[in-house]
Amino acid sequence: MSGDPLSDALALIDAHCVLARAVLAGHPWSLTLRAYAPLMLVVPARGEFWLTVPGSGKQLLLAEGDIAVVHGDLEQVMSSRPDLEPEDGEELFRRQGRAALELGDSPDVTVLGCHIALDRNGEDLLLAALPPVTHIRAQDGQAPVLHWLLDRLLAEMSAEGNGSAFAARQYAGLLFVEVLRGFLADPSAGPPSWLRVLATPALAPAAHAMQADPGRAWTLEHLARTVAMSRSTFAERFREAAGVPPLTYLLHWRMRLAERALREDDVTIASLSHSLGYATESSFSHAFKRTLGLSPGQFRERARAEMTDDAGPVTRAPSSTG
């Protein structure tokens, strides 16, 4: 792993953009759209518009520079006015057959939608850390980077030349990283989770230490020492931020690492057990089955079978737009 906790977590859950689309619209307009991945970034690159997410009860006026992060199972309505009857945006995208949908003769609003896929075994790690709808307002500190990424993303989506679709997805992925950095700037923005721990400067070094050296025989006392707190204070504050005690956090991180290794590598279960800090293969197998409901061997067989079947959310994305 890289030693950077956020990078480690994103690599572990394989967060990446699988589809980037744009809507260029002129008043009045209203569309219903859906996500093709577990998360969707909704970004006004120019102008402002209303975002309504009926399943969450949220209705937001998004201005240029704002970003909304929406769980992918929620329908979204984007409009110049929330009282307008929406058109079927997915049908309009299919008709035009392009990644950029144009509505009206004089568009004054540009909306970007970036669909973020996650490893299926890591979806709950990130989705549980983010509310159904997160509104990140434009911030001076992030504005220059976000504007540059948006400009590049729009340029690639407009070019539709060799490699443009691939380049657009890379810029969208970088945009997602900037979004998470903005989220980390406000520890109270989300529910208790690993993201909230990383967003709390007084606790982040302990999470960093566990992720950087998961095979170490960590104790509560060792971890408290990394943040210069008493054991009781550290345990209380960590649980409040993470939603679980520190050593449970460590267990979950080890299991995530084990899942990835069993899915992608040919490492033996015995060597994996040792690398994750378990004295015996049986103690690791017991912890794995207690957490995931399958033995390590059963998990590996199922994961390899799923990879052979090539199942996953990417297959749902329409080819004309990605």
Single pTM value for the model: 0.74
State the average pLDDT over residues 142-169.
81
- Whether 175 contacts 43, CB under 8 Å: yes
d(CA 318, CA 322): 7
Strands 67-71 and 100-103: unpaired
Across 14-28, 206-220, 277-291, least confident range = 14-28
pLDDT at position 312, please? 45
Domains of the chain, first to last: 13-189 (2.60.120.280), 200-307 (1.10.10.60)
d(CA 187, CA 273): 34
State the average pLDDT over residues 30-47.
91
The structure tokens 């995530």 sit at 256
How far are the Cα atoms of 38, 95, 176, 246 from residue 124, in angstroms, in the given order?
10, 34, 17, 19
State the average pLDDT over residues 127-138.
82
Across 1-5, 62-66, 278-282, 286-290, least confident range = 1-5
d(CA 267, CA 202): 36
- 138: tokens are 């434009």
Q: For all residues of the chain together, what is the average pLDDT? A: 85
Q: Is the pLDDT of residue 148 over 60?
A: yes
* Secondary structure (3-state) at 33: strand
List, as one string, the DSSP characters of 202-230: TTHHHHHHHHH-TTS---HHHHHHHTT--
For the stretch 47-58, pLDDT in tens is: 999 999 998 899
Q: Is the pLDDT of residue 2 over 60?
A: no
State the average pLDDT over residues 87-94.
94
pLDDT at position 152, please? 87
How far are the Cα atoms of 14, 123, 220, 243, 282 from residue 249, in angstroms, in the given order?
20, 17, 12, 9, 21
Q: Is the pLDDT of residue 284 over 70?
A: yes
3-state SS track over 235-263: HHHHHHHHCCCHHHHHHHHHHHHHHHHHH
Percent with pLDDT over 70 in the chain:
90
pLDDT at position 318, please? 43
The structure tokens 């993201």 sit at 195
